[in-house]
Amino acid sequence: MYRPDHLTLNLSGQLLSLERAVVMGIINVTPDSFYSTSRIAGEQELRTRIDTLLREGASIADLGAYSSRPGAEEVSAQEEMRRLAPALRILRDEYPALPVSVDTFRADVARWAVQEYGVAMINDISGGALDPQMYPTIAELQVPYILMHMRGTPQTMGEQTDYQDLILDLIDYFIQRVGQLTELGVHDIVLDPGFGFSKTLEQNYELLARMSDLGTVLPQPLLVGISRKSMIYRLLGQTPEEALNGTSILHGFALERGAKILRVHDVAPAVEAIRLYEAMHPYERRDEALYYTQTNTGDH
């Protein structure tokens, strides 16, 4: 069973340990997020959401202003910044201890968010493919970068699901891009396999089942974002609002396969999943050591 080495992320001078998994709480300031309950309108709703994240144990807030749901409408950079600005101001001025990630694929938005509001991390769904200036910008800003796997754009990704071997293709994708980032001097890179992006429902489950294979080759920590996604609610004949139980179950499988950051709408259940999973660790390690000893001594 894969478990990556002890890792830390430098979030604006705060060292976040990933020795055990942590939770990233989603804050949506989009009017069209696929999960309607997560949409935030107004400053008081925003404060309530942030207070909930902190109370329930989120280690990072991930703020997004551009919906990446399939078929989402295009949003200009100016509109994206207009939506982000009030939330970033409140997070900077009223919640300075909470590290903030901004979910954007635009280098100009990333630079603005880091320089004007002290954002600690950039979460790029395109892995740099939608803005050639993203990698140099991240290298200049020296902030951690979440590198996600996606083909095409949010508008076209549903048509780009043809893989020779899903996991090998993802490994090749990450090796190439991590190499480019490392050559530019980017130090803290988190890998997001991109559940729901350029993958069929069946491919999402293949990816989850084989996710530990990524960790055998790639030393970077893995982020998993499956919260209330269609791979859950469509399979179960539900709506996103009904998909919390399925999300929690799959979080357990993701943790078992090496996830170090869970990006979620519901923080408390994810924190509980981590605590329950961690409670098994001493016993799993003992069983694995016993199996290794018996295998090597021929005592079966």
Where exactly are the structural domains of the chain?
Answer: 8-297
Name the residue among 22, 28, 32 with its Cα closest to residue 71. Answer: 32
3-state secondary structure of 255: helix
Whole-model pTM?
0.89
Tens of pLDDT along the chain (300 residues) come to 344 445 899 999 999 999 999 999 999 987 755 544 556 767 888 999 999 999 999 999 999 998 776 655 778 999 999 999 999 999 999 999 999 999 999 999 999 999 999 999 999 999 999 999 999 999 999 999 999 999 877 777 777 789 999 999 999 999 999 999 999 999 999 999 999 999 999 999 999 999 999 999 999 999 999 999 999 999 999 999 999 999 999 999 999 999 999 999 999 999 999 999 999 877 776 555 555 555 555 444
Name the residue among 140, 146, 135, 142 with its Cα closest to residue 68. Answer: 146
Q: Which positions are catalytic?
A: 229, 263
Half-sphere exposure of 134 (CA within 13 A, CB side): 25
pLDDT given for residue 299 in this prediction = 47
CA 93 – CA 150 distance, rounded (Å): 34
Name the residue among 169, 186, 168 with its Cα closest to residue 178. Answer: 186
CB 191 within 8 A of CB 147: yes
Cα-atom radius of gyration of the chain, to the nearest Å?
19
pLDDT given for residue 286 in this prediction = 58
pLDDT given for residue 5 in this prediction = 45
CA 264 – CA 101 distance, rounded (Å): 13
Q: For domain 8-297, which CATH number applies: 3.40.50.2030, 1.10.150.120, 2.60.40.790, 3.20.20.20? A: 3.20.20.20
The single-letter code of the amino acid at 265 is H
Burial-class residue 88 by CB neighbours within 10 Å (0-12, 13-18, 19+): buried
First to last CA, the chain: 20
CA 23 – CA 21 distance, rounded (Å): 7
Name the residue among 126, 123, 125 with its Cα closest to residue 188. Answer: 123
CA 259 – CA 251 distance, rounded (Å): 9
Name the residue among 149, 98, 78, 143 with its Cα closest to residue 267. Answer: 98
Rounded to 5 degrees, φ, ψ at 46 are -65, -45
Question: Which residue pairs from 74-78 have beta carbons closer than 8 angstroms and sit at least 24 positions apart in sequence?
Answer: 74/155, 77/106, 77/108, 77/109
pLDDT given for residue 33 in this prediction = 54
